[in-house]
């Protein structure tokens, strides 16, 4: 089970827009910087994609239905219909998209190295297969564009827009694979169209506005796919197919604690170990979740609560593994992401708080 239940819970970790500044932790290196204009562009993408939803008189009732379903942990009801998914994306994904976009920029140095490693891996495979870049008509080899691949487990609207924003900010091209147990294909297709199509302009728009009007990313710059599947039920072979053979970044954004809670600590630990076995060496794992998340496990007749971060570190860093090791690159226990007051959106968007952990895997060489 992969879900996005944490945002609308009654006991939410999303902060009030009026929360006093002194309660916020110091600025963390995990936060990149976007201009307010860039942030407004991302918010406009949601406003454009879900204009009909945001203007519907039925939206408040639908949001209440989703919140009640999530409170009851009835994920089939909350995420089983397209209208619910569209409403969820319109209401809770814009803040997270801006937050995730800042996280991606904050770890840009690691992603930059990852893209280069992935390009080298692909070039090495092509050379071995006899398919290296061929010279052009002038006898010069065509340059290879290094594509960054991201697999978002539990990924949907927010990750989609955030990754596109990262590609726009860094002038890269990338491949995004979204994997979730809910039927997000329709929503992600709507967002892909919005991300790769220039916004509609008023007939009164100036010549300068028309000349500068462009999509956030070019269609060739962002390739994406969506797979509906329960990650805890995937075989190692199926997970390996999602990952590919070149180094990539795998994300669990407000997903890991839900896996621990709904799927169980045992199944989730097994998944993390399977991930370590099949993920290409040099890849990154990014975990973002609510700060202070806990999961319960039965110990005899008693139930014991474990912090999510402790469970994650215990599995990746402290448990014995065969053929690979994880290293923690960055870690933050609690960070505020605050929405600029001047951003314009049809409904109110709140601040949010999160924890962030970034790991890199190394694979041990085996003798042939």
pLDDT digits (tens, 9 = 90+) for 257-293: 999 988 999 999 999 999 999 999 999 999 999 998 8
Tell me if 256 sits within 8 A of 334, measured CB to CB. Answer: no
Coil, strand, or helix at residue 298?
strand
Coil, strand, or helix at residue 188?
helix
Q: Quick one: fold of 36-122+144-199+215-363?
A: Rossmann fold (3.40.50)
Residue extents of the structural domains in the chain: 36-122+144-199+215-363
**What whole-number distance in Å separates Cα of residue 105 and Cα of residue 117?**
18
Residues forming a β-bridge with 289: 355
Tell me if 350 sits within 8 A of 14, measured CB to CB. Answer: yes
For residue 314, give both structure tokens. Answer: 């215990």
Predicted confidence band of residue 109 (pLDDT cuts 50, 70, 90) = very high
Choose among 79, 140, 92: nearest CA to 262. Answer: 79
Predicted confidence band of residue 184 (pLDDT cuts 50, 70, 90) = very high
DSSP labels for 231-289?
GGG--HHHHHHHH-SS--EEEEES-HHHIIIII-HHHHHHHHHHHHHHSPTT-EEEEEE
**What whole-number distance in Å separates Cα of residue 88 and Cα of residue 69?**
12
Block residue for tokens 């008023």:
202
Block residue for tokens 């539990």:
154
pLDDT in tens, 208-265: 878 888 999 999 999 999 999 999 999 999 999 999 999 999 999 999 999 998 899 9
Strands 284-289, 352-363: pairing is: antiparallel
> Model's pTM, two decimal places?
0.85
**What whole-number distance in Å separates Cα of residue 224 and Cα of residue 267?**
28
């Amino acid at each position: 089970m992969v879900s996005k239940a944490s945002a609308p819970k009654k006991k939410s970790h999303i902060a009030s827009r009026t929360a006093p500044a002194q309660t916020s932790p110091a600025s963390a290196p995990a936060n990149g910087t976007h201009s307010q204009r860039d942030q407004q562009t991302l918010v406009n993408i949601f406003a454009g994609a879900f204009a009909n939803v945001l203007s519907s008189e039925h939206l408040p009732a639908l949001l209440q239905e989703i919140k009640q379903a999530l409170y009851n942990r009835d994920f089939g009801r909350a995420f089983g219909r397209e209208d619910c998914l569209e409403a969820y994306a319109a209401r809770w994904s814009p803040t997270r998209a801006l937050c995730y976009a800042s996280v991606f920029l904050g770890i840009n140095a690691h992603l930059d190295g990852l893209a280069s490693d992935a390009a080298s891996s692909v070039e090495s495979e092509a050379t071995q297969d006899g398919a290296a870049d061929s010279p052009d008509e002038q006898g010069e080899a065509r340059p290879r564009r290094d594509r960054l691949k991201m697999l978002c487990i539990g990924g949907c609207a927010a990750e989609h827009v955030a990754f596109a924003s990262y590609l726009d900010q860094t002038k890269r091209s990338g491949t995004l694979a979204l994997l979730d147990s809910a039927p997000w294909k329709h929503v992600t297709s709507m967002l892909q169209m919005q991300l790769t199509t220039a916004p509609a302009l008023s007939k009164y728009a100036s010549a300068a506005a028309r000349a500068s009007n462009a999509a956030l990313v070019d269609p060739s710059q962002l390739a994406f796919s969506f797979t509906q599947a329960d990650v805890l039920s995937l075989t190692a072979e199926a997970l390996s197919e999602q990952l590919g053979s070149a180094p990539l970044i795998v994300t669990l954004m407000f997903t890991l604690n839900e896996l621990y809670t709904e799927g169980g600590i045992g199944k989730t630990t097994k998944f993390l170990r399977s991930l370590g076995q099949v993920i290409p060496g040099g890849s990154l794992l990014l975990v973002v979740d609510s700060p202070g998340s806990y999961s319960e496990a039965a110990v005899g007749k008693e139930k014991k609560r474990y912090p999510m971060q402790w469970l994650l570190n215990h599995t990746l860093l402290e448990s014995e593994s065969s053929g690979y090791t994880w290293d923690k690159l960055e870690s933050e226990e609690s960070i505020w992401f605050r929405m600029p007051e001047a951003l314009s959106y049809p409904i109110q968007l709140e601040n949010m708080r999160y924890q962030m952990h970034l790991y890199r895997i190394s694979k041990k060489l085996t003798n042939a």
